[in-house]
Amino acid sequence: MRIEMAEFGLRGGEERVDATLAVVRALDACRNSRERTELIFAEGRYDFHPERATEFAPSITNHDQGGTRKTGFPLTCLRDFVLDGQGAEFVFHGPMIPFWLERSSDISLRNFTVDWDRPMFEQGIVTEATDTSFDFRLPPDVPYEMRDDGLYFEFGGRRLPVWGLHDIDPVRKTHAYGSGDRLSWSSFRKLKLQEIEPGLIRVTGELRHLPEPGHAITMRFGRRENPGFFVNGCANVAVENVTLHHAPGMGLVAQRTAGLTLRKFDVKLKPGSGRLVTATADAVHFTNCRGTIRIEDCLFENQLDDPCNVHGVYVRIVEKVADDKLLVRFEHEMTVGLEFAGPGDALKFVSRDSLLPYASATVRSWLPVNAELALISFDGPVPEEIGERDVLENETWNPDLLVRGCTVRANRARGFLITTPGKVLLEGNTISAPGAGIKLSGDANSWFESGAVRDVTIRGNTFRDCNYCWPDWGRAVIDIDPEIEEPERHPAAYHRNIRIEDNDFITYAPALVYGHSVDGLTFRGNRIRESGSYPTREGQETAIELRAVTEADFSGNRFERAGQSALLNGEEVPL
Amino acid sequence: MRIEMAEFGLRGGEERVDATLAVVRALDACRNSRERTELIFAEGRYDFHPERATEFAPSITNHDQGGTRKTGFPLTCLRDFVLDGQGAEFVFHGPMIPFWLERSSDISLRNFTVDWDRPMFEQGIVTEATDTSFDFRLPPDVPYEMRDDGLYFEFGGRRLPVWGLHDIDPVRKTHAYGSGDRLSWSSFRKLKLQEIEPGLIRVTGELRHLPEPGHAITMRFGRRENPGFFVNGCANVAVENVTLHHAPGMGLVAQRTAGLTLRKFDVKLKPGSGRLVTATADAVHFTNCRGTIRIEDCLFENQLDDPCNVHGVYVRIVEKVADDKLLVRFEHEMTVGLEFAGPGDALKFVSRDSLLPYASATVRSWLPVNAELALISFDGPVPEEIGERDVLENETWNPDLLVRGCTVRANRARGFLITTPGKVLLEGNTISAPGAGIKLSGDANSWFESGAVRDVTIRGNTFRDCNYCWPDWGRAVIDIDPEIEEPERHPAAYHRNIRIEDNDFITYAPALVYGHSVDGLTFRGNRIRESGSYPTREGQETAIELRAVTEADFSGNRFERAGQSALLNGEEVPL
């Protein structure tokens, strides 16, 4: 069945009517159809406002929690559904989640652009800098308010305080060398912002970084609440030929979803807009998914966080309430309310210190108690001995990952964050980040992100200038750092089988790989050239530094500058 | 199947462990049973804390909206279930909804008491009063805080400002003569509270009422968020031999529920506690229910709002979005998010001015858009002409009401509020209220409560001293006042067939019945005695005053004081 939005009064004209309710009606018609449905938009602009938008109360992984959200496209309980924008431009106003997919399967979204009328960030230009202050000018057309406690901008009818600044190099259009988060988060709280004349802001206080005149300052405000796409409990979702210019949250976030393909899904700056930020958090983020996550021919640039993160979640065991029942808690406030497990899932019991599994069990039921707590019943008794603060990991919900032909660049933080035991292949991508280009971590301390890798191939990629905000966000281009104290002390490694082959590293600093707690690491056939893009800096001086690593192979690499070496479990090895 | 709570480690002892999680586990076992289940508590005390309690995001009719709530008994998706407390005492701590019933049927709850460790109100004693101020003493054991903007108490770990005072006569244990809301709501905001010595508060400002020394002052703080029982979308629910001493909200609230019996369900002061308040809002409240609401042998006393309200909801028509589709809005912020209608329901189109229906239609689907808005699809086209701000009423979801053998007294506001077209019988009750004892209203202006009555019998009841806070909360003992301007102007009456027969009125003031827009009102065979309880006052001077009333019958009443009359459509008629 083919449904044209024109049947619901939307013809993509220039009237800028609120399209929200017509889309709700069209989707309701699609939901009632028993056959494959294609919903077709005519090319043109469609505006979406919160007033008549569908409201829901989600728990969105790695976003700020609580309250309700509004969405433009409530793609819930749909089967075999295609949305074809035919080049349409969907423009959102204020806090909204453009696409909400839940309990839907075989969904294809294609051929459209998503943007905001006014994005949830602002930017200015540095006019002057001294040793103890810098000034920047706000754009003339943006309303702002200076209060005693800071600088406020409006988003969605609310005044929100700026809580972070970023120094952006106007030529490279990315975070300035060495800037990192040194004017943001806790460092921002030690700064003082004053209006010295209308539209001109002076920054003083404990300046940990000094931007140069001519540089841009991007300003962060608001909470991380509204991703561009929120995919929850779905199967077989494809997003193709879609461009997202902004989101007041991540670009796309998926959780407990089986099979997801992104092809020509670009999170990119809006041409001609002069903007320097796209999404205000990660471009794409996957928590406890399974099947294959396929990311092909995508561009992820200028987000205010990582381009891609694939991981599971560790939940903490609070109490054994019966032989076959555990009370568990989500330890990170941004993961509360997740559907961590379901009947039939295999869970692993993981020692908190070593992060090594010591038992597994099959779930009979998952009963959420409140946002933080849930009761898990198992098919049989759980282990007699459970260590204090041990965690559980879901073995069933872990995806394979294929990333091919993508470009990531100019965002804040790292490149690809990968913690999944599934088969991982990154091939033919171009990767640049102010931190590590690839990070394989895992921890049960802060983010509680699970997923020791078992089979990772990083092949034929080009790494261009990573870690230019060192020491923020990573030690080396490829940073393997599961959060395990004294990894040498444990009987087995956390990660396994990481192959880094046939890549080009074009880099201003020597550090290519840092890693610990790995069984089987191959760095072979790579080509390393110097970029000279940035001044030399401190930090890891060898190309490779590994601790608690077994079965390492460093053969056949070509270094532009001879005499490079690796530090393997404390011993220097020539490369 | 019989499940003892002892199987889950709860034996009703004196340990005061948190029972919350054990109850969740027991209910989960009951939910998985395919046969009738009885969950049995041993007599004793059981404590419930929010930390491990089930959380949900409800829309509770006539309560403050937004956010999540915690519950002690998540009675969801249960069939054929009995909870027998065997005299147990369930004690709650902080903001919680003790019983949450949703999508459950054939449920019986019996033989227990519900109370709070610390209730959400406080009370003091007036020590002195002048023409321009009064002082009251706080109880010595209650922590409080005096800030610039007022007096704060703690509830559930939060400091909450007092927003209303009530003057309570210590002998009658009810609202003092003429006190009403004159120290509460907007009048409270014109008062100033100062601490003149530790534990002693002086009240000055625009005093609209002056309490006497020796009177008690009850203090209101907090929002109306947590009823004792919340029943949503259920069928055949019975609550028997249950006592509720407090709720930080209504005692029991039911919405879209078919069939509900309350027998010996008492909302009453805790003996020996010295408390003067039970629930902080209505004792029982029913919105858009159907089947029979049966209330027998219950005592509802000392709530901070009406003992009983039975009504439907009018939703406003915002826009015709297609021939068979309307966008509608909940106009009162305390009704947002209700499931107003479902497939097959008959809805009436009601003119906003006359409140008279002019068309009806059958619902094909109800699609909530957000808390305020929903889309209704009908089986066929809706009327061509819909008046601006006209409303819809649900004809299918209206209950019959039987109230027998109950006593209501000493609460704030009115007695029984009844707006339902179902068959209504109030028989053998004892009714006393500071406002009207019975109020039949209906409005599309403020509360948007629907339900013109068709068949009401008020028979064999005893009315003792109502309206002692006149003019707040009602003109006469029985107050029939649908909010219709110029009711004479409309072709038909709003209410129909109200029979007031064989009742005893023991009253200090002459006004027995006020009414307008009624077709068929009988006041027959009643006995009226004078109580002399309070001074005479102004107000309605005739026993009966009716406007726009047809088919009135006033025969066979016996007045202790002769010479009473009725004012019928402007003409005085002797009684």
pLDDT tens-place string over residues A327-381: 999 999 999 999 999 999 999 999 999 999 999 999 999 999 999 999 999 999 9
Q: Do A25 and B321 touch (CB under 8 A)?
A: yes
Do A280 and A299 sit in the same domain of this protein? yes
Do B191 and B279 sit in the same domain of this protein? no
- Spans in chain B with pLDDT lower than 50: none
Number of domains in chain A: 4
Of B25, B68, B321, the CB nearest to A21: B321
Q: Write out chain B residues lying below 8 Å of A54, CB-based.
A: 369-370
Q: Write out chain A residues lying below 8 Å of B55, CB-based.
A: 369-371
For chain B, the average pLDDT equals 97
Residue-level pLDDT at B431: 98
Picking from A48, A55, A70 by the largest number of B CB atoms within 10 A of its own CB, the best residue to mutate is A55
DSSP-derived secondary structure for A423-471: EEEEES-EE--SS-SEEE---SSSS-EE---SEEEEES-EEES--TTTT
Direct distance between the N- and C-terminal alpha carbons of chain A, in angstroms, rounded to an integer: 61
Distance from CA of A232 to the nearest CA of B (A): 19
DSSP A99: E
Q: Of A354, A374, A394, which closes a domain?
A: A394
Do B139 and B157 sit in the same domain of this protein? yes
Cα distances (angstroms) measured from residue A205 to each of A189, A190, A194, A210: 9, 6, 11, 11
Q: Do A375 and B53 touch (CB under 8 A)?
A: no
For chain A, the average pLDDT equals 97
Distance from CA of B83 to the nearest CA of A (A): 20
Of B25, B53, B371, the CB nearest to A321: B25
Residue-level pLDDT at A417: 98
What are the pLDDT digits (tens) for A380-411? 999 999 999 999 999 999 999 999 999 999 99
Do B336 and B436 sit in the same domain of this protein? no
Residue-level pLDDT at A61: 98
DSSP B183: T
Query: Taking residues A198-216, what's their average pLDDT?
Result: 98
Angstrom distance (rounded) from CA A374 to CA B466 = 51
Residue-level pLDDT at A32: 84
Residue B30's φ and ψ, nearest 5 degrees, are -65, -40
Do A503 and A562 sit in the same domain of this protein? yes
Angstrom distance (rounded) from CA B513 to CA B434 = 15
Direct distance between the N- and C-terminal alpha carbons of chain B, in angstroms, rounded to an integer: 61
pLDDT beyond 90 at A15? no
Q: Of B305, B339, B357, which closes a domain?
A: B305
Q: Write out chain A residues lying below 8 Å of B23, CB-based.
A: none
Do B87 and B234 sit in the same domain of this protein? yes
Residue-level pLDDT at B227: 98
Distance from CA of A5 to the nearest CA of B (A): 14
Residue-level pLDDT at B14: 72
Please give the share of chain A, as a percent, with pLDDT higher than 70: 100
Do A135 and A29 sit in the same domain of this protein? no
Q: Do B24 and A369 touch (CB under 8 A)?
A: yes
Find, in chain B, the residue whose alpha carbon is nearest to that of A327: B21
What are the pLDDT digits (tens) for A223-270? 999 999 999 999 999 999 999 999 999 999 999 999 999 999 999 999
Residue-level pLDDT at A12: 86
Do B71 and B214 sit in the same domain of this protein? no
Residue-level pLDDT at B113: 98
Cα distances (angstroms) measured from residue B178 to each of B511, B534, B540: 16, 10, 16
| CATH code for the domain of A379 | 2.40.30
Picking from B10, B318, B370 by the largest number of A CB atoms within 10 A of its own CB, the best residue to mutate is B370
| CATH code for the domain of B274 | 2.160.20
Residues 6+ apart with CB under 8 A from A442: A311, A355, A419, A449, A450, A451, A452, A482, A483, A494, A495
pLDDT-derived band at A96 (thresholds 50, 70, 90) equals: very high
Do B169 and B144 sit in the same domain of this protein? yes
Q: Do A375 and B25 touch (CB under 8 A)?
A: yes
Q: Of A279, A305, A331, which closes a domain?
A: A305
Do B246 and B107 sit in the same domain of this protein? yes
Q: Do A369 and B21 touch (CB under 8 A)?
A: yes
Note down the domain range covering A213. Answer: 121-221
Angstrom distance (rounded) from CA B434 to CA A419 = 67
Query: Taking residues A77-96, what's their average pLDDT?
Result: 98
Q: Do B371 and A57 touch (CB under 8 A)?
A: no
Find, in chain A, the residue whose alpha carbon is nearest to that of B370: A55
Greatest CA separation for chain B: 71
DSSP B279: B
Do A150 and A98 sit in the same domain of this protein? no
Residue-level pLDDT at B33: 86
Contacts of A203-207 with CB under 8 Å at 24 or more apart are A203/A133, A203/A134, A203/A135, A203/A136, A203/A165, A204/A132, A204/A133, A207/A132, A207/A133, A207/A134, A207/A183
pLDDT beyond 90 at A123? yes
CA angle B12, B237, B86 (to 5 degrees): 20
pLDDT beyond 90 at A66? yes
Q: Do B369 and A327 touch (CB under 8 A)?
A: no
Give the number of residues written for chain A.
575
Do A358 and A436 sit in the same domain of this protein? no
H helix and E strand count, chain A: 2, 49
